[in-house]
Structure 1
């Protein structure tokens, strides 16, 4: 499923409903997969982060070096960012003792700095301008921060705020509905709305993932992290196989 285009350096997918469906599934997989390695395998957050960080660096390097858009490679890199984001956020929140509020605040600051520097250097943070290795590097760093922030924010909302996994999912799902409404019925920047939606899908996936594998006593379904991860992975593979994805159109 390699696709060529008149703008071969645009190697991110067109933003469609399919994109968001796979994105939410990938973020949910990141939560169950990250927890499977750090908790179920008893490797801990630090070792889990190290493992996924290596996978992330290999995937990002391959993605940036690729000459055309490869759906498989792109989504593998997204999954790598969300798994490393899960273990990294858990390490910062729990092992470092800064808590969900501290972790979320720190990661939000890093995300905003990343977007600010990217805009200052490249002139735009729109998906359609990601057509150079430098722009891709900014894109993936920003995504990694957003995925990590989403994990911390999801845990903070579900646990500290006391909303539980279902309540937190309703909150983040409702916020995404508002973003969709703003997209169609307001003149707000579509680039701004894209990044807001991209960030919000991560905590949604985080709380859905926790809902699937946490104990019944904590409001979860107590499913196996391995089986939940396998089912999500199979869904993503099927979506990529069945539905055609095209690269985003270049803005240049």
Structure 2
């Protein structure tokens, strides 16, 4: 196979490995601390912060779609953009619009499922290995955007409304992810279904971890600086991207 054939056989997104999930959880946690840093610590509010992060998201997605091959730094920058805008957007809907965590979670779940349904009807698959065209990437990033926003609302709902707290939320979402991992290794359940389920659940896990790091001690957190926690997470992600092996997913591998 020549180099052109090799490029055509590769997806624009990373292969799903342990490194992918490690960086994904860090990115979702960064989305929570980074979003809160802008909206709360800098007191810009949810709406203005969402607008700022939305511009970053649009620029990052546009660059990602224009790229001809998978580029780890650009890909993860785009993921972080979805997590930060998802955080402030969910907080704006839940708190400023007053629809509450349950209402926000229900609405975003509907939008996420609708996005997946339209994607499947249009292209016949929602597998990440198929993400090699601009149309597939648009569906991919819209779906991710909804999943990141849903995860924020779901994490807050679990920790605050249901009353499990941040540690309780971490245990719940960590356990659900462990069950999905077991299903991956020991069942024949669709790998695409398991991927999207795990992808969605890593976001509320990151949300409750992020809140645990920066919320006041009396609220069950560690009261870390949001800027300090965000800087530590950025550093961790950079080291992971630099040193953990990553490769593009192979089209049609599943």
TM-score bracket for this pair, using the shorter chain length? over 0.9
1:9-158 aligned at under 5 Å gives the runs: 10-158=11-159
Deviations 1:156-182 (A, max 9, x none): 000000000000100000000000011
Would the aligned equivalents of 2:105 and 2:153 in 1 still touch at CA under 8 Å? yes
1:233-244 aligned at under 5 Å gives the runs: 233-244=234-245
Q: In 2, Cα distance between the equivalents of 1:161 and 1:249?
A: 41
Deviations 1:8-65 (A, max 9, x none): 4621001000000000000000000000000000000000000000000000000000
Deviations 1:176-204 (A, max 9, x none): 00000111111110000000000000000
SS of residue in 2 equivalent to 1:10: strand
Q: In 2, Cα distance between the equivalents of 1:62 and 1:41?
A: 28
Equivalent residue, structure 2, for 1:220: 221
Q: How far apart are residue 7 of structure 1 and its match?
A: 3.1
SS of residue in 1 equivalent to 2:65: helix
The answer to which of 192-201 and 8-17 deviates more is: 8-17
Would the aligned equivalents of 1:4 and 1:69 in 2 still touch at CA under 8 Å? no
Q: Could you state the TM-score of these two structures normalised by the residue count of structure 2?
A: 0.96
RMSD: 1.3
Tell me the matched-pair count.
250
SS of residue in 1 equivalent to 2:11: coil
Equivalent residue, structure 2, for 1:184: 185
Q: In 2, Cα distance between the equivalents of 1:123 and 1:65?
A: 23
Q: How far apart are residue 5 of structure 1 and its match?
A: 7.6
Runs of 4+ in 1 over 3 A off after TM superposition: none
SS of residue in 2 equivalent to 1:12: strand
Q: How far apart are residue 4 of structure 1 and its match?
A: 8.9
Equivalent residue, structure 1, for 2:163: 162
Q: How far apart are residue 68 of structure 1 and its match?
A: 1.0
Would the aligned equivalents of 1:24 and 1:202 in 2 still touch at CA under 8 Å? yes
Gaps of 5+ in 1: none
Q: In 2, Cα distance between the equivalents of 1:143 and 1:63?
A: 14
